[in-house]
Structure 1
Amino acid sequence: MTTFIASLQNELMKIFARKKFFVLLIIEILICLLSGGVNYLIGKASAGAVSTSLMLSNMPMNMLSFFIQIYIPLMIFMASCDLFTSEVQDGTIRASFMRPVSRFKLYASKIAAITIMAVIYLAVLFILTTAMKLMGGAGIASAASVAESFFAYFLDIFPLIVVVLFAAMLNQLLNSPSLSIVICVIIYIGLYILGIVVPQASGLMFTGYSEWHNLWLGVTLPFMTMISKIGLLLGYGLVFGCIGYYLFERKEV
């Protein structure tokens, strides 16, 4: 466990040593502030027809849809490329293989580091949008809705882990960092669009479960249906994780 934690800290340092992830976090904050400002101005401009508190009341959930399906997956693809393909191309992966840590722990620490980065983006989004919601006049009475929003954000971490495993697996098949990002984005968008064009296929692809909270909050599905969907998402995670690790274990640099 000690070697895994040390490896995880090393991988996290690699991610946050790259300024682009701080810049992209700032962009996320600016997007939230801009959206909140627009909603606030619409509420004020309506002269009471639409209350400001109403415009800001659903900020956490409205912003979640865009970030969980598009923005954060893009960050995951970039981080996966940096920790896998880029290290293979520049040869720094050799230093990692020479450290006293097994390849399994090294691979797991990279997966965990990328997941932690994604969760940080998600946590910042929740805190910021919830703060705007409360400042908009939602007040203490909205404690239940805040708890519901928190639960929704927590649930959506699980499909993000599958996206991390998916990106890590693809990065074992490619040697070019730029090509890696392009392929990840193309396949992800392709599967996502396919799920929209063919609704029947959406339930069979992991991209159709990015808003995982929709299955648990509000009107829930029958128990057996829920079990099958949990099994499907878990199956994707296991397949991506096993294939990715197998290729990483056999990698020669």
Structure 2
Amino acid sequence: MHSLYANVWNETLKMAFKKKTLFFMVMTLIIPIGAGLLLANFQSGFGIGAVSAGDFPIVMLSLFTGIFLPLFVFMGAADQFSGELGDRTLKIVLMRPISRFKVFTSKQISLGIYIAAYLFIAMIGSVISSFFLGGSLSNFAVLDWVIAYGAAFLPLAALSVTAVLLAQFFTSSSGALTVSILLYIAVKASSFFFPQVSTYSPTAYLDWHMLWLGNSMAAGQVWSVFMFLLACSILFFTAGYYLFDKKEL
């Protein structure tokens, strides 16, 4: 178990030293602050309140989970697996006294750590921006923010497991990233034409956090979505590890 912890630390540090990781972190903080300032100036200039201070962090979360964070997930999965396979650094990792299962698991866990970190940074940026919009905030609004950003982790984690599975079919990070983005766009677009089919994809539940808001939380629907995302994660994790274990390096 100690080797798993050590490799999780190593994988987390490897991602931390990449420029794109720092870029995404900075943008995750800047985007809500910039959007808050622009929206505050717009609303004060026209004398309207399109988005309240209490709603702004939730609006930003929907933007992050729909566009920005999935892009990071695809990029992280592609770099950790396809990229390392292409530049042959994965072979060096597997020469260490650690099983392939622990290598695979540690990479998946480190990706999950960064998803949680990005959600936390996004929440901090959104909370700061909400003060630009003025108005009073209730304790319930703050609690909704924490719950929503926490709940957003599960569908993004399930998406990361799916992205890792896709990455096993490629030997270059650019190929894995391109196909992941195109498939994501295709699945999202198909929801307008085949809504029944799209519900069987983890991408359909990236707005799962909306079910947790307010007093009328749909407990039954929350539980069913939770079980679906958990089942998808277990299935795709198993398939991804099987392909990873059979790779010839």
Q: TM-score range by the shorter chain?
A: over 0.9
Corresponding residue for residue 35 of structure 2: 35
Letter aligned with residue 18 of structure 1: K
**For the Cα contact (< 8 Å) 2:202–2:229, is it kept in 1?**
yes
CA separation of 1:43/1:80 partners in 2, compared to 1, >3 Å: closer, same or farther? same
Cα offset, 1:135, TM superposition: 5.0
State the distance in 2 between where 1:89 and 1:202 align: 32
Cα offset, 1:27, TM superposition: 2.4
Letter aligned with residue 186 of structure 1: L
State the distance in 2 between where 1:230 and 1:44 align: 41
| Aligned residue among 211, 225, 233 for 1:215 | 211
Corresponding residue for residue 165 of structure 1: 161
Corresponding residue for residue 180 of structure 2: 184
| Mapped pair 1:93 → 2:97 | no
State the distance in 2 between where 1:229 and 1:62 align: 21
Corresponding residue for residue 124 of structure 1: 121
| Mapped pair 1:25 → 2:9 | no
Cα offset, 1:68, TM superposition: 0.6
| Mapped pair 1:147 → 2:119 | no
State the distance in 1 between where 2:69 and 2:245 align: 27
Cα offset, 1:201, TM superposition: 2.7
Corresponding residue for residue 68 of structure 2: 71
State the distance in 2 between where 1:82 and 1:19 align: 12
- Given the two structures, how large is their TM-score scaled by the length of structure 2? 0.92
Cα offset, 1:138, TM superposition: 4.2
Letter aligned with residue 19 of structure 2: K
**Count of matched residue positions in the alignment of Structure 1 and Structure 2:** 248
Please provide the CA RMSD for this pair: 1.9
| Mapped pair 1:83 → 2:80 | yes
**For the Cα contact (< 8 Å) 1:170–1:184, is it kept in 2?**
yes
| Aligned residue among 60, 72, 93 for 2:57 | 60
State the distance in 1 between where 2:91 and 2:73 align: 23
| Aligned residue among 215, 238, 241 for 2:234 | 238
Cα offset, 1:76, TM superposition: 1.0
Once the two structures are superposed, what CA deviation does each residue of 1:56-103 show, in whole Å capped at 9, x if it has no partner? 332211111111111111111111111101111111111111112111
**For the Cα contact (< 8 Å) 1:65–1:211, is it kept in 2?**
yes
Runs of 5+ consecutive residues of structure 1 not aligned to the other structure: none
State the distance in 2 between where 1:42 and 1:135 align: 12
- Given the two structures, how large is their TM-score scaled by the length of structure 1? 0.91
**For the Cα contact (< 8 Å) 1:16–1:22, is it kept in 2?**
yes
Letter aligned with residue 10 of structure 1: N
Corresponding residue for residue 3 of structure 1: 3
Cα offset, 1:28, TM superposition: 2.7
SS of corresponding position for 2:97 = coil
Cα offset, 1:222, TM superposition: 6.3
Cα offset, 1:217, TM superposition: 2.6
Once the two structures are superposed, what CA deviation does each residue of 1:224-251 show, in whole Å capped at 9, x if it has no partner? x544333222221111100001111111
State the distance in 2 between where 1:228 and 1:152 align: 17
| Aligned residue among 241, 246, 249 for 1:250 | 246
State the distance in 2 between where 1:79 and 1:228 align: 28
Cα offset, 1:161, TM superposition: 0.8
**For the Cα contact (< 8 Å) 1:89–1:175, is it kept in 2?**
yes
Once the two structures are superposed, what CA deviation does each residue of 1:141-169 show, in whole Å capped at 9, x if it has no partner? 42210111110110110011111101111
SS of corresponding position for 2:248 = coil
Corresponding residue for residue 229 of structure 1: 225
Cα offset, 1:179, TM superposition: 0.9
Runs of 5+ consecutive residues of structure 2 not aligned to the other structure: none
SS of corresponding position for 2:53 = helix
Corresponding residue for residue 174 of structure 1: 170
- 228-237 or 120-129, which deviates more: 228-237
